Structures are given as C-alpha cells and as structure tokens.
Structure 1
Amino acid sequence: MKHLETTYKTHDGIELYLQAWMVDVPKASLLLVHGLGEHSSRYLHLVEKLHASGVSVFTFDGRGHGKSVKGDPTAFFESYEDYLRDIDSLFGKVKSYVPGVPAFIYGHSMGGGLVAAYVLKYNPDTKGVILSSPAIKEAEGTSKTLIAMSSVISKYFPKLKALKLDAQKISRIPAEVEKYLNDPLVYTDAVPARTGYELLQMMRFIQANASKFKLPVLLIHGSDDGLTNPKGSELLYEKATSADKTLKVFPGGFHELINDLDREEVIKLIVAWIGSRFIDPYSKG
C-alpha cells in the first residue's frame, strides 16, 4: 500500500496530522474520522480490507488527539463546530485528490457523532456514510444535575478532567483492551469538561435534526456497548429520511466492533456495503 503522511493547518492555526493509503486506480475514496481519545493509526486492519477492494482511505488525528498534539494527547477541543470545519476541509481534499470516483465518510464513536452532525450541517456530496457506534444519545440515567452544571464547568474550568471512561468496555477481547491501554497515542485519562460539554451539544443537535438526515447510511452498534448508547443509532435510523438506510446491531457487541469478537463479520459488512455503492469500472456489462 502506498502510504502518505502530511500535516494540515486548520482555519484557527492548529496543525493536524494526516495520513492516506492510496490505490493506484481507485474505485472510491473514504474519509475516516476516529473516536474520542484514540487516533487514526488504529484502523490499519480496516484500511487494508478497504484498500484491497479498491478504496483509497484518508484519515487524520483530530484536535487534541494522537500525533496532532505536541507532547501527550489531551482529547481537548474548544468547539465541536471547529471539528466539523476540519472534517469539511479534509473531505474537500479527499475529493480533489481522488476526483471522479464515489466518496464515502466513516466515523466511529465521537467520530460517528461528528460525521452525523457534519452531514446535517454541511450536506456533503458523498455516496454514503458509515457510522460505527456513533455518539448520538447520552447514556441512560445520565444525571440531569450534571448536565445542567456542565455548561458552567465547561466555561470556567474547560480543561478540568470531568468524566472517566471505562476502557474495559471497548472490547470483549482482553488483548485488544491491553493494546488500547498500552498505546502511548491513546488518551485514557478523564475527558476534559469542555470536550464533554461540546459532545453533549453535538448529540442534542443530532437528536433535534435527525429527520433531516437524507444520505445513504449504514449504522452499526453493539447491543452491549457501554460507552455510546445504542439507542442513539436506533433514533437516527428511525428518524432519518434516507431512502437507503441500514441498522445492524451486533448481539452482545461492545464498543469497538472492528476490534471485538465479531470483527471479521463487521469488517466484511462495511467493505461490502461500500462496494455495493460504487460501480466497478472493470466489470463487464
């Protein structure tokens, strides 16, 4: 695989780490948006399968994440709207680098929520959207007092470490959890208050506008996901007005489906869904 690395300066002067795996004669392109606390290099096994099917894959380490941070990752960003602007700029680059073929967008967890919000705000020219365990609905039983206080804490103590996520819930495979915990580019500390507040605003926006979602979409979620609420995927699936929409819930599945017990089936589903939505230029008839 031809692997490219570079950086991109955002509208507000942040340098983001970008990478791409290029196909010589691509049939499609895809922008991949990673989840909270992690980074883009954790998707290489999915990239390999997509690349083999003719898809050039572009991705980046988001604000406060991975190699886009000088020093240790922080998972901090000021505004989810800034993140959406990053996605828009980078999706534009994908379409200019690989012109004339269908372009797709993939988002996982926080990245899934961001991609859903991006679709609703920007209405991008994409052939389809894949949302993996997207952050669309807050966890069941989230304290209303905590939600009410979050705006104040976010304003006055934006970098306060507010919410610790349980890494054991990412996968039912112990080796995958260990790999996650031992990765120096993964942020495993408590989520900063501003980041958490902005993600809450993002989820509220998606919930209020879900019926305006019209693009082809594949939603995948594990029924036992303890980090993002599967009911968020159900909500978007039910309210979206897309003529082409699919929801696949994996029984017993944890948060990172491509790193969980059903990973082969999950990756096969993703690759097949994308592949069925672009025309193979080598096919006869």
Structure 2
Amino acid sequence: MALSFPTSLRQSISSNPFSLFLQRQQEPYHHSIRNPTHHQFDPNPSLVSNLRARRRIHLTVSAKKKAVIEGVSEELNKIAGLNLDFAPARRRVRSAFADAQQQLDHCLFKLAPPGIRTREWYEINLRGLEIFLKSWLPEPGAKIKGSLFFCHGYGDTCTFFFEGIAKRIAAAGYAVYAMDYPGFGLSEGLHGYIPNFDDLVDDVIEQYTKIKGRPELKGLPQFLLGQSMGGAVALKVHLKEPRGWDGVLLVAPMCKIAEDVKPKPEVLKVLGLLSKVIPKAKLFPAKDLDELMFRELKKRRMAPYNVICYSDPVRLRTGMELLRATGDIESQLDEVCAPLLILHGAEDKVTDPLVSQFLYQQALSTDKTLKLYDGSYHCILEGEPDERIFAIFDDIVSWLDRRSMNN
C-alpha cells in the first residue's frame, strides 16, 4: 500500500520518535459489532487521489506476529494467538489463562489478601455496548471506609495485575470498583479503538455514577484512581464533574505530551488526515516500550500473560484522540481542584515525571501531594521490586485513610 505525501515530510516522519508505519489488520475490518460482515476497506477515492498527486513516501504495511508465551502449553499459545478484535475472543482467552495467571510468582498474586469478596458483571451502556465491571469488597463484617473507582491505562484491562492491586486496597477497608473501557479488556468494541476520547470518559461517568448511588456507599467518601492513560481519563472525569469526588489519585498519569516527543505539526497534519480516511488502521511505533515499563526483569517476563491487553500498534484515530485529550487536559490543569495524590517513578520514560510536577504546580487543589520514587519505571504498582510496590501501597492507603477518618 502506498500513500503520497509532500517530500518535506520524509525526514520529519523518519526522525521523529513517533515514527509511524501503517499496519494492515490480520482480519478484515468489521463495521457492526453485533452482526459483523467481512469486506475490504475502501478509502475516500478523491482524498487518496489528491495524496497520490504529490511526491510519494511509502509507508510499510506489515502484520505483527504474536510472541510465544513461555511457560504455557502449545494449546494455550494457540488460544492466545486468536484475533482479539472483538470481545467474545478476548473473553475466551481470559478464561483459558485464568489458572496460569494465578500461578505466577508475583507478589500481587502470591501475597493477595484472603477473604476479599469479588463480583463480575456486565452492563449495557447508553451506546448499546456491553461493558465489563468488577468489584472487590473487604471481607464480610469489615467496616467499609470509602470507595475507590479505577481507570485503567491504554491497552490494559481491569483484570490481571489490577486484581492484586484491588485486593490489597480492599483489605485496607475500601470497596474497589473497576471497568474495562469499550474496545478494551472484556468490554465490547473494536480492540484498542478509541473513536472519541470524550465518549470514553462519558462511558466511565455513566457506569460509576450508577455504582456511586448504591445504598451501601451512601455517605462514604468516593475516590478516583487513574493509571497512565487512565490518569487522563480520571482528570477528564473530574473536570466534567468537579464536585463529584472526594479525591483523585494518579499513578504515572498521561496528562501532557512533552514537546520533544510530540510529532511535528506537518506530521500531525498527515496523521489527522489519515485518521479520517482509515481511522481503524494500526500504526507501527518506532520504539519498543516493553523494557521501559517494568524495572524488575522477572516481573517484566510476566507481562505477556496479560493476554487480553492490546499490544498491537496504535490505531490512527486512537492516536489522534490521545493527543487531543492530553491537549485539552493541559489547557485545564488550573481547574483541577479535588484533593490530589500523584505518584510517579522518577525514571519513567513512558510518561514524563516532569509532567506530573507540572500538574502538581498548576492544579488549583489546596490539598495536593506529589511523590516521586527514585529509580522506578512506569509500572510502579506492578513492575518494581516487592518492597517498593508494598511501600507505594502504604502511601496510597495512608492517603486514603487520612481523608476517610471521619467515616
């Protein structure tokens, strides 16, 4: 597949850290989630014609082969290799790997507190999509101090690693609730596709508003926790309903794209154009982030067991929506007014800790705390040495307890 761009873009695209190459999906696109039909995508002819009239840059079209997951059977690897574009396949894969995940030698699984009450269910949202939700409650008879609502990161799910995170927070006396966004985890929607970031935020508000209204949570403080891209989601939720939360916790939040890694204006213009023509097309990032996520090698090797995580190249529209969302948030940081806890690894190369410092300085909140952890990478709740992970949990629970002590 060849598309035409001005010659001046060649150097910008190839030298930028966001160098992007279009990738064809392994399966044809589907327009209907409930009744998919196979077809070949046919881009706008006049737009492609105009592009071809210029000097050409060839964007490589390739298919990404999934890596073999070590330590599991050939049969499980075949299941993990299924096309995960749609929720039924993701649910099948998650179910098949449930036992293997629980056997991992990770503190979040091995040292998970006993007695936690869990529940999984689905809700149909206002756009007709089936949304996966899960809750973790303290053991029977324990007093509930407050509720915590989780917003997961890009490509991630509220299952797998977050299961261990939620259990530890629930054991400290908090009711924990989480959901998979449309297109992620076990919820319906094209895998990894965010056609509109504000719609995603509204989906979160819709589901969490229902839960917050439950009688058993009446009068309890209610907190929002966002990790990585979930930090952007949490901030957007807070900005849309500034009086709706008793506190916002952000872990390595994605709330501003640093200028040195943002695509140049001419590249953004082309990407924006392509996102309207082939919005669901995947992109091939120039930089592999795997080694930048987990500091501890042993834990990094467990990441592939998160089999329903979206790990393919970013889809065109999704990438543009992430850029737009962070731009919106950056322009509204001085409107953030909730009690704020920001936690970030000082050596994070995925989301910049300097941006968290910028958020801390700009936020209107009078009650705000920033904690930077020396030597830590991006996944500070999952990929650090055990003692660092437990120390961060202690920081989170202490912060929650100080704001829940009157209940």
**TM over 0.5, shorter chain:** yes
Deviation at 1:50, TM superposition (A): 1.2
Q: 1 CA distance for matches of 2:376 and 2:224? A: 23
Q: Which amino acid aligns with 1:158?
A: P
Query: Which of the two has higher C-alpha Rg?
Result: 2
Q: Does the 8 Å CA contact 1:224/1:252 hold for their aligned counterparts?
A: yes
Deviation sequence 1:32-62 (CA, Å, 0-9, x none): 0110111101212221221112100000111
Deviation at 1:166, TM superposition (A): 1.4
Q: Partner of 2:369 in structure 1?
A: 246
1:271 correspondence with 2:391: no
Deviation sequence 1:141-181 (CA, Å, 0-9, x none): 32213333332122112112125351221111122222212
Deviation at 1:109, TM superposition (A): 0.5
Which of 335, 341, 345 in structure 2 is aligned with 1:212? 335
Say which SS state the counterpart of residue 191 (structure 1) adopts: coil
Q: Partner of 1:223 in structure 2?
A: 346
Which of 238, 257, 270 in structure 2 is aligned with 1:138? 257
Once the two structures are superposed, the pairs formed by residues 158-237 of structure 1 within 5 Å of their partners are 158-164=279-285, 166-237=289-360
Q: Does the 8 Å CA contact 2:232/2:254 hold for their aligned counterparts?
A: yes
Which of 11, 19, 31 in structure 1 is aligned with 2:134? 19
Q: 2 CA distance for matches of 1:74 and 1:178? A: 23
Q: Partner of 1:39 in structure 2?
A: 157
Q: 2 CA distance for matches of 1:223 and 1:279? A: 30
Q: Which amino acid aligns with 1:188?
A: S
Q: 1 CA distance for matches of 2:170 and 2:156? A: 22
Say which SS state the counterpart of residue 12 (structure 1) adopts: coil
1:92 correspondence with 2:209: yes
| Identity level (%) | 28
Q: 2 CA distance for matches of 1:220 and 1:30? A: 16
Q: Does the 8 Å CA contact 2:197/2:322 hold for their aligned counterparts?
A: yes
Q: Which structure is higher in strand share? A: 1
Deviation at 1:229, TM superposition (A): 2.1
Deviation at 1:268, TM superposition (A): 1.2
Note the residue ranges of structure 1 that are not aligned, 5 or more in a row.
none
Deviation at 1:116, TM superposition (A): 0.8
CA gap 1:127/1:67 in 2 versus in 1, 3 angstroms: same
Q: 2 CA distance for matches of 1:267 and 1:252? A: 17
Q: 1 CA distance for matches of 2:237 and 2:184? A: 19
Deviation sequence 1:227-251 (CA, Å, 0-9, x none): 2122221221111010101111112
Deviation sequence 1:44-95 (CA, Å, 0-9, x none): 222122111210000011121111147xx72112111111111111221231
Say which SS state the counterpart of residue 138 (structure 1) adopts: coil
Q: Which amino acid aligns with 2:127?
A: D
Once the two structures are superposed, the pairs formed by residues 149-164 of structure 1 within 5 Å of their partners are 149-164=270-285
Which of 232, 235, 241 in structure 2 is aligned with 1:113? 232
CA RMSD of the aligned region, Å? Answer: 1.7
Question: TM-score, normalised to structure 2's length?
Answer: 0.65
Q: Which amino acid aligns with 1:275?
A: D
Q: Does the 8 Å CA contact 2:238/2:244 hold for their aligned counterparts?
A: no
Q: 1 CA distance for matches of 2:282 and 2:117? A: 39
CA gap 1:253/1:115 in 2 versus in 1, 3 angstroms: same
Q: 2 CA distance for matches of 1:43 and 1:110? A: 15
Q: Which amino acid aligns with 2:149?
A: L
Q: How many equivalent residue pairs?
A: 279
Q: 1 CA distance for matches of 2:247 and 2:378? A: 22
Deviation sequence 1:203-232 (CA, Å, 0-9, x none): 001110110111101011112212212222
Q: Does the 8 Å CA contact 2:181/2:204 hold for their aligned counterparts?
A: no
1:54 correspondence with 2:173: yes
Q: Does the 8 Å CA contact 1:49/1:271 hold for their aligned counterparts?
A: no
4+ residue runs of structure 1 moved beyond 3 angstroms? Answer: none
Say which SS state the counterpart of residue 132 (structure 2) adopts: strand
